[in-house]
């Protein structure tokens, strides 16, 4: 069910699944509705063909951006374009606009600034100060940041079949019913104590939440709803996903807080097969 010509998400996103689409879609079964409790950049949503998609993320800025693009379309894309000009691609402008973003409450402007920061910030990271919940990624120093017009228009068209929500992942998963297919791409279990992949939103994602996610996936499979999960491959994930079919493979890291950590790591896909 994957598209022949794969579509890239319009956002840079740590842990994005664009390069793993073939692996994911080889295990993802067909159905009427795709549910993603951790949609992130939306690579799976963009490259599959479900009648409807329920897409959730804990990052409120991300979901607001998707909702604004879904509602405003062309007009919003042109607003975003106005930030992709040479005079705004400087350290001074970036930090001014980052401060403006952190103080802004108006959804359209905040969403346009979120895209600007995503494309002009260091290494495409999305990181917040946990105490203040302020975006704090430094300037990226790119010669000419790419404006993803084509990708935004594709997302806008595809979003007509989607519902975007920002809620606890457990609530999203409990919305699943017969005909639903669930794909979960949670913040990964850390590879080590200094791993930085879980700070894409204030608060992180605890090991207890990882266990809760695995238990919910197993319960849904008992009800006849298939669930596919992505994560790092280690002793913890093998233990919590023990009732699932596990496929393991190596993945090259492209986004990391440290250049030396952009190496190949072991990941897995855990598939909870429907039991009824």
pLDDT grade, residue 196 (50/70/90)? very low
What's the token pair of residue 38?
């951790």
Enumerate the domain spans of the chain.
18-65+162-272, 73-150
- 178 with 225: CB under 8 angstroms? yes
Residue 194 clears pLDDT 70, i.e. is over it: no
The confidence score (pLDDT) of residue 243 equals 96
Residue 136 clears pLDDT 70, i.e. is over it: yes
The confidence score (pLDDT) of residue 192 equals 67
The confidence score (pLDDT) of residue 69 equals 98
What stretch of H or E contains 53? strand 52-56
Cα–Cα distance for residue pair 231/62, rounded to 1 Å: 21
- Percent of the chain at pLDDT above 90? 85
- Segment 157-183, tens digit of pLDDT: 999 999 999 999 999 999 999 999 999
Q: Who has greater pLDDT, 275 or 15?
A: 15
Cα–Cα distance for residue pair 2/246, rounded to 1 Å: 21
The confidence score (pLDDT) of residue 77 equals 98
* CATH code matching the domain that covers 73-150, chosen among 1.10.1020.10, 3.30.70.2190, 2.30.40.10, 1.10.10.10: 1.10.1020.10
User: Which residue bears the tokens 């009824």?
Assistant: 276
- 20 with 27: CB under 8 angstroms? no
Domain 18-65+162-272 has CATH 3.40.50.150: yes
Eight-class DSSP state of 48: S
Residue 14 clears pLDDT 70, i.e. is over it: yes
- Segment 213-272, tens digit of pLDDT: 999 999 999 999 999 999 999 999 999 999 999 999 999 876 555 555 567 899 999 999
Eight-class DSSP state of 258: S
Task: List, in sequence order, every residue forming a beta bridge with 230; answer none if it has no partner.
Answer: 269
The confidence score (pLDDT) of residue 258 equals 56
Task: Give the pLDDT mean for 6-21.
Answer: 95
Tell how strand 52-56 and strand 33-36 pair up: parallel
Q: What are the Cα distances from residue 162, in Å, to 15, 45, 123, 197?
A: 22, 9, 29, 27
* Rg of the chain taking only CA atoms, in angstroms: 18
pLDDT grade, residue 202 (50/70/90)? very low
Q: Who has greater pLDDT, 151 or 5?
A: 151
The confidence score (pLDDT) of residue 163 equals 98
- Segment 25-69, tens digit of pLDDT: 999 999 999 999 999 999 999 999 999 999 999 999 999 999 999
Residue 200 clears pLDDT 50, i.e. is over it: no
The confidence score (pLDDT) of residue 197 equals 44
Cα–Cα distance for residue pair 174/65, rounded to 1 Å: 24
What backbone phi and psi angles, to 5 degrees, belong to 187?
Answer: -55, 130
């Amino acid at each position: 069910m994957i598209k022949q010509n794969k579509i890239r998400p319009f956002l840079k996103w740590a842990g994005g699944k664009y390069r793993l689409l073939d692996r994911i879609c080889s295990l993802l079964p067909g159905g009427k509705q795709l549910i993603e409790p951790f949609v992130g950049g939306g690579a799976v949503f963009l490259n599959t063909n479900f009648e409807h998609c329920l897409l959730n993320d804990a990052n409120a800025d991300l979901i607001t951006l998707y909702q604004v693009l879904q509602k405003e379309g062309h007009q919003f894309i042109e607003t975003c374009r106005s930030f992709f000009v040479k005079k705004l691609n400087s350290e001074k402008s970036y930090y001014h606009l980052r401060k403006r973003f952190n103080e802004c409450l108006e959804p359209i402007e905040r969403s346009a600034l979120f895209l600007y920061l995503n494309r002009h910030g260091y290494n495409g990271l999305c990181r917040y100060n946990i105490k203040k919940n302020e975006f704090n990624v430094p300037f990226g120093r790119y010669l000419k940041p790419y404006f993803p017009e084509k990708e935004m228009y594709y997302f806008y068209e595809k979003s007509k079949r989607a519902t975007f929500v920002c809620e606890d992942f457990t609530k999203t998963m409990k919305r699943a019913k017969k005909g639903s297919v669930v794909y979960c791409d949670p913040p990964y279990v850390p590879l080590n104590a200094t791993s930085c992949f879980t700070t894409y939103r204030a608060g992180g994602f605890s090991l207890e939440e990882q266990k809760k996610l695995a238990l919910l996936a197993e319960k849904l499979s008992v009800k006849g709803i298939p669930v596919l999960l992505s994560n790092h491959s280690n002793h913890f994930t093998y233990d919590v996903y023990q009732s699932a079919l596990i496929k393991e493979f190596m993945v090259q890291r492209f986004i990391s807080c440290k250049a030396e950590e952009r190496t190949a790591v072991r990941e897995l896909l855990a598939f909870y097969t429907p039991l009824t």
